Amino acid sequence: MLIELIVSFFLLVGASFALVGSIGLARLPDFFTRLHGPTKATTLGIGGVLIASVIYFSARSAGLSLHEALIALFLFMTAPISAMLLAKAAIHRKVTTRSRVPPRFER
């Protein structure tokens, strides 16, 4: 029962952070702010969901279940790299920033 509560807590935290990151991706005004949203929030979301999975499968079977830690390790290593590469590509493509203009959804 306590295990279920802990797993539920981490699942909800992870999924809500993933949702917040995707809302940021959809709503923020220009590319560089949109880059900020998902790269922070979804790695935290993945972290929460994977912690929930580790706890659930470790309580389910004998011994520690650490398959998911592999995914978390890989994602935590590659998420900053891909964000930096995307920012460099956007600078190279001369993507404009609209930081002083209200959100583009008003037009």
Map residues 53-92 to x or -, x wherever contact with other proteins holds by CB under 8 A.
x--xx--x----x-xx-xx--xx--xx-xx--xx-xxx-x
Number of helices followed by number of strands (H, E) in the chain? 3, 0
Query: Coil, strand or helix: which one is 95?
Result: coil
From the list 64, 93, 100, 107, which residue makes contact with other proteins (rule: CB under 8 A)? 93
Beta-carbon contacts of 30 under 8 Å, excluding residues fewer than 6 positions away, are 95, 96, 97, 98, 99, 104
Beta-carbon contacts of 36 under 8 Å, excluding residues fewer than 6 positions away, are 24, 28
* Residue 88 beta carbon to other proteins: minimum distance, rounded to whole angstroms: 6
C-beta separation of 87 from 33 below 8 A: no
Interacting residues toward other proteins by CB under 8 A: 4-5, 7-8, 11-12, 14-16, 18-19, 21-23, 25-26, 31, 34-35, 38, 42-43, 45-46, 49-50, 52-53, 56-57, 60, 65, 67-68, 70-71, 74-75, 78-79, 81-82, 85-86, 88-90, 92-93, 95
